[in-house]
Amino acid sequence: MHGPAPAHAQPGPATWIRVLVLLTIATVLEVLTYAFESTLGALTAPILILFAIAKFVLVVAYYMHLKFDNRILTGIFAWGMLIAISIFAAMAALYHIYGQPLLTP
């Protein structure tokens, strides 16, 4: 869709600042979520994860230009992430769902 776009067709500092503002807001909200952990209860973890994903995507899409760059690059990075995350999830299941308790030393 974007084709082999050269690195030059990118937005400028205005966008970078906007992204920075969003990143800062997300970070503040993250820390607030942490601070209100007791009120949020079981919601804390998903909220934190959501904010982290938002920040992650902002940096990758804008600062790292993936949004404007060749789709192949998105594919490569996404596959790396996908495999890493799936293995991570499988491990979490192995240790926290199916794992028998380890002996306490």
Binding residues for other proteins (CB under 8 A): 3-4, 6-8, 10, 12-13, 16-17, 19-20, 23-24, 27, 30-31, 33-35, 37, 44-45, 48-49, 51-52, 55-56, 59-60, 62-65, 69-70, 72-73, 76-77, 79-81, 83-88, 90-95, 98-100, 102-105
Give CA 100 to chain center in angstroms: 31
Residues 6+ apart with CB under 8 A from 47: 33, 40
CB of 90 to other proteins, least distance (A): 7
CB of 93 to other proteins, least distance (A): 8
Q: What does the alpha-carbon distance between residue 78 and residue 60 come to, in Å, rounded to a whole number? A: 11
CB of 78 to other proteins, least distance (A): 8
CB of 105 to other proteins, least distance (A): 5
Q: Which is nearer to other proteins, 1 or 99 (CB)?
A: 99
Q: Which is nearer to other proteins, 1 or 100 (CB)?
A: 100
> What b/e string do you get for 59-91 counting C-beta neighbours within 10 Å, with b at 16 or more?
ebebeebbebbeeeeeeeeeeeeeeeeeeeeee
Per DSSP, 7 falls in state T
